[in-house]
Amino acid sequence: MTDNTPSGIVLVDKPEGMTSFSVTSRIRKIFGVKKAGHAGTLDPFATGLLAVAVGRGTRVLRYMENDEKTYRAEMVLGKITSTGDIEGEVVGGKIPDETEKQALLSDDAGKIRESVKKMIGEITQVPSVYSAIKINGRPAYDYARKGQSVEIPQRKVTIFSIEIKDIFEKEELIHVLMDVHCSKGTYIRTLCEDIGNDLGTGAYCESLRRLSSGAFSVEQALPLEEIERRYSSGDSAFVVEEAEAMSGLPKISVTEKEAIDLRNGKKLDFSVFKDRMYAIGATEGERVLALHEDRPCAVIYSEQSDEGLLIREERVFA
């Protein structure tokens, strides 16, 4: 990266209340670039890690689309809100009386833990109308805030694990603090609502913070003000090399000659790579990160042509 042509991934600790689009616009202005984009939208009420690509770094956003995520969520049992989070109006729910509360909290909150456990695995979700899911190119919450109805399609997502960090009472309501490791496209507000429905109390998500996305952690992220301060003073060391964003891709090692050929855009015969590609289970067209001496040199894929099955490069690294 050079000061004249900023390029790479900026890891932002998004503040509450800002849209992901607004954060990206702010980064675009700070770095003085025309091209910028983010990976994995965060709803306005959520905080935490937002990866923003600038300059040439935007070319690797496609490789970050399927990254798994980890969130810390605080779920409140007993109330349902119009938005599924703390910003909405209370529209339902059942606050447990003392007897019901004790039943939920007895045996180390066994009923709550069992309900949470049911959500692990592949599940079907219908995202909130106040979510950032795009409908005809617009976030769903944009329609909802304007009073326009829109149909939200259901989707299958995977919850890999849920770790309950704490269960406590606050203002006569039961709060559950939990870390959720999930696939792309998972809506934590919807997950909280589904747990609340299963328990018969209803629930909403009071706070949400993204802890990780792919290879990146919120510990690496900086607030916008700190990013602006550092960059304006000539410090760009916090900008991550774009190749690091592709750590989730399957990988093969290549020889020095193969690395040179790939960087020069030469088509290579698949037979030379066959054993290595099959060893990692790569299918035709699947993107693979080619490494030479453990350094990325290209994103490659196999493609059928008149000349037979070839290896093509999609993105090269110096």
- pLDDT tens for residues 147-163? 787 788 889 999 999 99
Rounded mean pLDDT, 225-243: 94
Residue 3 confidence (pLDDT) above 70: no
Strand segments, DSSP code E, in 114-154 are: 121-125, 134-135, 138-139
Same domain membership, residue 119 and residue 173: yes
Same domain membership, residue 35 and residue 95: no
Rounded mean pLDDT, 197-204: 97
Do 298 and 310 form a contact (C-beta atoms < 8 A)? no
If pLDDT is split at 50, 70 and 90, which confidence band does 177 have? very high
Residue 141 forms part of a structural domain: yes
Helix, strand or coil for residue 152? coil
**Two tokens, residue 240:** 């991550």
CATH number at residue 254: 2.30.130.10
pLDDT value of residue 34: 92
Domain containing 257 equals 249-316
Same domain membership, residue 183 and residue 223: no
Strands lying side by side in the sheet with 251-253 = 251-253, 288-292, 295-305, 308-316, 268-269
If pLDDT is split at 50, 70 and 90, which confidence band does 181 have? very high
**What is the rounded CA–CA span in Å between residue 290 and residue 299?**
6
Q: For the chain, what is the domain count?
A: 3
Same domain membership, residue 37 and residue 132: no
Residue 58 forms part of a structural domain: yes
Residue 1 confidence (pLDDT) above 50: no
Same domain membership, residue 290 and residue 269: yes
Residue 118 forms part of a structural domain: yes
Residue 231 forms part of a structural domain: yes
Residue 4 confidence (pLDDT) above 70: no
Do 125 and 110 form a contact (C-beta atoms < 8 A)? no
Same domain membership, residue 277 and residue 226: no
| 77-123 residue pLDDT tens | 999 999 999 989 999 999 999 999 999 999 999 999 999 999 999 99
Residue 134 forms part of a structural domain: yes
pLDDT value of residue 198: 97
Residue 2 forms part of a structural domain: no
**Two tokens, residue 281:** 């289970």
Same domain membership, residue 273 and residue 152: no
Rounded mean pLDDT, 209-224: 96
Rounded mean pLDDT, 72-79: 98
Same domain membership, residue 76 and residue 18: no
Residue 318 confidence (pLDDT) above 80: no
Same domain membership, residue 123 and residue 236: no
Same domain membership, residue 39 and residue 167: no
**What is the rounded CA–CA span in Å between residue 303 and residue 300?**
10
Same domain membership, residue 282 and residue 241: no
Residues designated catalytic: 43
Contacts of 26 (CB under 8 A, 6+ apart): 224
**What is the rounded CA–CA span in Å between residue 4 and residue 131?**
37
Same domain membership, residue 200 and residue 118: yes
pLDDT value of residue 54: 95
Looking at every residue in the chain, the average pLDDT score rounds to 91
The share of the chain scoring above pLDDT 90, in percent, equals: 69
Which comes out higher in pLDDT, residue 62 or 116?
116
| 136-150 residue pLDDT tens | 778 777 887 787 877
Residue 31 forms part of a structural domain: yes
The share of the chain scoring above pLDDT 70, in percent, equals: 98
Residue 5 confidence (pLDDT) above 70: no
Rounded mean pLDDT, 286-306: 89
**Two tokens, residue 272:** 């030379």
CATH number at residue 81: 3.30.2350.10
Helix, strand or coil for residue 108? helix
